[in-house]
Amino acid sequence: MSDGIDVEVIGVEQLDRAGDATQVVRLCVATASRVGVADGHVAIEFVEASRIAELNERYRHKQGPTDVLSFPIDGVEEQAGVERELGDIVICPAHTQDIPEAVVHGMLHLLGHDHETDHGEMLALQAEILMAQRRAAR
Indicate the average pLDDT of the chain. 88
Percent of the chain with pLDDT over 90: 64
Give the chain's domains with CATH numbers: 5-137 (3.40.390.30)
The pLDDT tens digits of the residues spanning 61-92 come to 999 999 999 999 875 566 656 678 999 999 99
Is this structure's pTM higher than 0.85?
yes
Long-range contacts of 110-119 (CB under 8 A, 24+ apart): 110/42, 110/70, 110/71, 110/72, 110/86, 111/31, 111/32, 111/35, 111/37, 111/76, 111/86, 112/35, 112/72, 112/75, 112/76, 113/35
